[in-house]
Amino acid sequence: MLAATPLWPVRAVLGEGPLWSARQERVFFVDIRSSRILSCDLTGAAQAEWRMEQGPCWIIETSHADRFLVGLERSIVVARLIPGEAVEIIHRLPGVFPDGMRLNDAKAGPDGQVYFGSMDDAEATANGQFHVLNTEGQLSHLDHGYTVTNGPALSPDGRTLYHTDSPARTIYAFDRHHDGSLTGKRVHIRFTEADGYPDGMTCDAEGGLWVCHWDGGRVTRFLPDGTRDRAITLPVSRVTSCAFAGPGLDQLVITTAAHEREAEPLAGALFLAKPGIQGLAAHRAAFTG
């Protein structure tokens, strides 16, 4: 097994959604339960923090410099994030998700559409949905019946999209079409109780799927056929999401959660690993407000 080292022991309550910005040479990620966006460079220095009006659940770069599409708990905004300056809300999409629900986890596709989930904030009811935000800022529903939506990831050719229902311990695969629509939903990977729960994930350039284990203390790489290939171990149990980073996209940044993990000194830290495989650059959202 490979190992990860702490990059920033920030102790995020619910760290999620890491994003490597080659444009800014920084990692961005969110702490949902502390209502903040965090950022640092790949040495753990140049740390920055922005407080948000609601818990930020995901962050995606746009084609516009310094503008990010941010999924808050019940709304989506375009925000300007500059280290050392207060966050500036540039645009707010109409429509608000209802009380008791919140957004969770997102990825942009190669055409700039953004795939994301919504879920019951109490994680008790399977009323979560899977959505897509198109390039004009219009929202459509793709799937339903999720308790905790997690981890959308896209294959290198953009033709397969992976999505997870964490409590069901199931990762699904969909066929993704040129118009952004999805068909052919099928079970791709099932976790066992010993694995914990599948959380955030990302694909590498070879089509491997790197999946974080909530209550499993590791990140596992699965081959395109679902076979387990290798794993990265962490000194914490609640591993939440990961993204490739660095000029060569040959490093993996990993977020974790300190929620109910007082006995784990590094819980909630941002970690860094060298997986020995090159990743994919994150796509940017086409909608800029």
* CATH number of the CATH domain containing 38: 2.120.10.30
The whole-number pLDDT of residue 98 equals 87
User: Over its length of 289 residues, how does the chain's per-residue pLDDT go in tens digits?
Assistant: 799 999 999 999 999 999 999 999 999 999 999 999 999 999 999 999 999 999 999 999 999 988 999 999 999 999 999 999 999 999 999 878 888 999 999 999 999 999 999 999 999 999 999 999 999 999 999 999 999 999 999 999 999 999 999 999 999 999 999 888 999 999 999 999 999 999 999 999 999 999 999 999 999 999 999 999 999 999 999 999 999 999 999 999 999 999 999 999 999 999 999 999 999 999 999 999 8
Say whether 23 counts as a known binding-site residue.
no
The whole-number pLDDT of residue 244 equals 98
Give domain status of residue 286, yes or no: no
Q: Where are the alpha helices (DSSP H) in the chain?
A: none
Chain-centre distance for alpha carbon 97: 19
Cβ neighbourhood burial of 45 (10 Å; 0-12, 13-18, 19+): exposed
Q: Residue 16 is part of which domain span?
A: 2-273
Give domain status of residue 289, yes or no: no
Say whether 104 counts as a known binding-site residue.
yes
Give domain status of residue 153, yes or no: yes
Give domain status of residue 281, yes or no: no
The whole-number pLDDT of residue 218 equals 98
Say whether 199 counts as a known binding-site residue.
yes
Give domain status of residue 251, yes or no: yes
Distance in angstroms (rounded) separating the CA atoms of residues 48 and 59: 15
Give domain status of residue 287, yes or no: no
Say whether 16 counts as a known binding-site residue.
yes
The whole-number pLDDT of residue 89 equals 97
The whole-number pLDDT of residue 62 equals 97
Say whether 49 counts as a known binding-site residue.
no
The whole-number pLDDT of residue 216 equals 98
Distances 207 to 186, 223, 280 between C-alpha atoms, Å: 18, 7, 10
Domains contained in the chain, number: 1
The whole-number pLDDT of residue 179 equals 87
Report yes or no on whether pTM surpasses 0.75: yes
Give domain status of residue 284, yes or no: no
- Residues serving a catalytic function are 199
